[in-house]
């Protein structure tokens, strides 16, 4: 059941990336995030309302071009020295992996907070 005052966010990792973007097209969600996405194509980025072997540099650059083209609000984090899956499987004993995993999680939370707060303000929840 969806609460009329609730602000929902969705995050997808790996093959969940396309699903996160799909859910984000619903009015029930105020923000979406994904990390090390797989199987994304240009259409996934065109439907937004507002170094990884599965998401190579050329795809990331094209995705950003599309996000600019459709005037979406977006935020991109790119981490060197980590492999696909770092945001959920990063080794906390390896400095670069731990830092990237923690920064990824922090970035997603800050991104979600931005939109849940905006949605709450728009509904007058903070008045």
Of the residues 9, 14, 36, 44, which is catalytic? 14
Q: Is 91 a catalytic residue?
A: no
Q: Is 19 a catalytic residue?
A: no
Distance of alpha carbon 103 from its chain centroid, rounded?
Answer: 13
Q: What gap in Å lies between CA 67 and CA 96, rounded to an integer?
A: 28
CA–chain centroid gap for 22, Å, is: 12
**Is 14 a catalytic site residue?**
yes
Q: Which distant-in-sequence residues (6+ apart) come within 8 Å of 11 by Cβ?
A: 20, 32, 33, 34, 35, 108, 112
Q: Which of 9, 36, 44, 52 is catalytic?
A: 52
Catalytic residue among 27, 65, 84, 96: 84
Residues identified as active-site: 14, 52, 84
């Amino acid at each position: 059941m969806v609460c009329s005052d609730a602000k929902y966010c969705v995050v997808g990792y790996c093959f969940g990336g396309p699903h996160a973007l799909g859910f984000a097209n619903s009015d029930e969600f105020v923000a979406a995030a994904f990390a090390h996405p797989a199987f994304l194509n240009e259409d996934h980025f065109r439907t937004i309302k507002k170094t990884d072997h599965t998401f190579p540099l050329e795809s990331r650059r094209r995705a950003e071009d599309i996000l600019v083209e459709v005037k979406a609000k977006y935020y991109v984090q790119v981490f060197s020295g980590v492999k696909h899956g770092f945001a959920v499987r990063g080794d906390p004993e390896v400095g670069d992996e731990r830092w990237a995993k923690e920064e990824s999680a922090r970035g997603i939370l800050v991104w979600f907070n931005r939109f849940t707060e905006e949605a709450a303000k728009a509904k007058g929840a903070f008045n």
